[in-house]
């Protein structure tokens, strides 16, 4: 059978374990040898005990766990050609030519580069006497399927990334909890949520928790946002509301591109309205806890589809990323999606917000 390795790389997210489980079980079901690579690319470069064969039961009782049981890491070595050469050797030695990479756009970019260099790396390993001519010939092609694990939902091409739904659950649980204490004391709460350049979490959290105001990076606040905010909060209080909830994305900005921090908002509310105002920064709680049913299903479907894609690949097949498109698992060209995602980040950096939203498309 074919050799497949699965690894998780970059920031973790809930639902990665479901994907790992599906890759292992679908792979074994189809007669492949499936390996875990622990600690992301670092394990691939270091080899040894970091690359271990998985069996059916090694992925039992993991679907309900947050994070990733095989570990994730950021790896400097893999950014260097020498590191990637070591990684290639470790894979060839075990007969692995199929990779399922679960990570963000950085991890997928690294995988694509690895594929482009693969044949050259093997030539060098042959010249160094590290691999045999038979191995050089047999393992001529590297096949890659990517899955996007990220709570931010910041990747182009997929409706949802693995972990986003669970992160939203964490946020609304926390917001609901805050609402009851805010009500008792007639307080205003400012909740800071994650998402770097993507306001998806903040926007959906605001909708689902009946927040009074939301700040997101894609729709920068007008320069006179303090006036607008105060007016809105006063309106709500004047009709008898006992509390206010404001959601701010960590990357929120104004029209000049200046960051809007929770502290800035608090100062405006306290100075102008003299409301008892508190800040809650949710932080890594959002990346923790058990995955939701949606993320378990998403990870499972994507993991299974990744193995199918690898089984059907031939020497002309380009790396793909498994995406969700209208509740269908689809295969899209990996580098096109990565490029589009990077173009969005660039447009945001250039303060071309409308362009960024258009480029991001549905997701």
Least distance from C-beta 196 to ligand ADP, angstroms? 10
Least distance from C-beta 296 to ligand ADP, angstroms? 21
The verdict on whether 128 is a catalytic residue reads: no
How far apart, in whole angstroms, are the C-alpha atoms of residue 281 and residue 278? Answer: 10
Q: Which residues pair with 103 in a beta bridge?
A: 148
Q: Kindly tell me which of 106 and 289 has the beta carbon lying closer to ligand ADP.
A: 106
Least distance from C-beta 45 to ligand ADP, angstroms? 9
Q: In whole angstroms, how far apart are CA 90 and each of 3, 52, 159, 215, 228?
A: 12, 11, 35, 47, 59
Task: Note whether 9 and 54 are within 8 A (CB).
Answer: no
Contact positions vs ligand ADP (CB under 6 A): 9-11, 41, 74-75, 78-79, 103-107, 109-110, 113
Task: Provide CB contacts within 8 A for 227, sequence distance 6+.
Answer: none
Q: Kindly tell me which of 104 and 220 has the beta carbon lying closer to ligand ADP.
A: 104
Read out DSSP for 104-158? -HHHHHHHHHHHHHHHHHHHHHHHTTSS-HHHHHHT---EEEEEEEETT---TT-
Q: Kindly tell me which of 11 and 195 has the beta carbon lying closer to ligand ADP.
A: 11
Closest by CA position to 103, among listed 361, 335, 260, 321: 321
- State the number of CA atoms in the 13 A half-sphere of 331 facing the CB: 16
Q: Kindly tell me which of 83 and 303 has the beta carbon lying closer to ligand ADP.
A: 83
Q: In whole angstroms, how far apart are CA 105 and each of 279, 339, 360?
A: 31, 9, 14
Least distance from C-beta 9 to ligand ADP, angstroms? 5
In the bound complex, which residue of the shown chain has the CB atom lying closest to ligand ADP?
Answer: 106
Strands 143-150 and 320-325: parallel
Instruction: For 95, list phi and psi in degrees, rounded to 5.
Output: 70, 30
Least distance from C-beta 76 to ligand ADP, angstroms? 7
Q: Kindly tell me which of 105 and 218 has the beta carbon lying closer to ligand ADP.
A: 105
Read out DSSP for 201-228? HHHHHHHHTT-SEEE-TTSPBPTTHHHH
Q: Kindly tell me which of 234 and 332 has the beta carbon lying closer to ligand ADP.
A: 332
Report which secondary-structure segment, H or E, holds 359: helix 353-360
Candidates 12, 105, 112, 152; catalytic one: 152
Q: Kindly tell me which of 97 and 109 has the beta carbon lying closer to ligand ADP.
A: 109
Least distance from C-beta 78 to ligand ADP, angstroms? 4
Least distance from C-beta 345 to ligand ADP, angstroms? 11
In the structure encoding, which two tokens stand for residue 120, read together?
């050259």
Q: In whole angstroms, how far apart are CA 140 and each of 14, 45, 85, 218?
A: 35, 19, 14, 44
Residues designated catalytic: 152
């Amino acid at each position: 059978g074919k050799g497949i390795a699965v690894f998780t790389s970059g920031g973790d997210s809930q639902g990665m374990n479901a994907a790992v489980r599906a890759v292992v079980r679908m792979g074994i079901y189809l007669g492949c040898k499936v390996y875990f690579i622990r600690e992301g690319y670092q394990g691939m470069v270091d080899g040894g005990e970091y690359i271990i064969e998985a069996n059916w039961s090694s992925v039992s009782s993991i679907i309900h766990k947050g994070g990733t049981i095989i570990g994730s890491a950021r790896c400097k070595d893999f950014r260097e050609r020498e590191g990637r050469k070591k990684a290639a050797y470790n894979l060839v030695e075990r007969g692995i030519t199929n990779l399922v990479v679960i990570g963000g756009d950085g991890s997928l970019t690294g995988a694509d580069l690895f594929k482009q260099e693969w044949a050259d790396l093997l030539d060098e390993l042959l010249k160094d006497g590290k691999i045999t001519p038979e191995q050089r010939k047999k393992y001529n092609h590297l096949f890659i399927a990517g899955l996007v694990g990220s709570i931010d939902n910041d990747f182009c091409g997929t409706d949802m990334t693995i972990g986003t739904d669970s992160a939203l659950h964490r946020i609304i649980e926390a917001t609901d909890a805050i609402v009851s204490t805010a009500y008792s004391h007639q307080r205003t709460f400012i909740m800071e949520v994650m998402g770097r350049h993507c306001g998806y979490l903040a926007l959906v959290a605001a909708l689902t928790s009946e927040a009074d105001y939301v700040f997101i990076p894609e729709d920068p606040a007008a320069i006179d946002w303090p006036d607008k905010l105060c007016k809105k909060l006063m309106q709500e209080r004047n009709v008898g509301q006992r509390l206010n909830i404001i959601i701010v994305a960590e990357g929120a900005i104004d029209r000049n591109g200046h960051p809007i921090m929770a502290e800035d908002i608090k100062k405006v509310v306290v100075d102008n309205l003299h409301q008892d105002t508190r800040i809650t920064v949710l932080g890594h709680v959002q990346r923790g806890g058990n995955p939701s049913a949606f993320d378990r299903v998403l990870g499972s479907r994507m993991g299974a589809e990744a193995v199918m894609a690898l089984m059907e690949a031939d020497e002309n097949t380009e790396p793909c990323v498994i995406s969700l498109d209208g509740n269908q698992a689809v295969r899209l060209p990996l580098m096109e999606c990565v490029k589009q995602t990077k173009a969005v980040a660039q447009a945001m950096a250039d303060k071309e917000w409308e362009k960024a939203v258009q480029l991001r498309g549905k997701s």
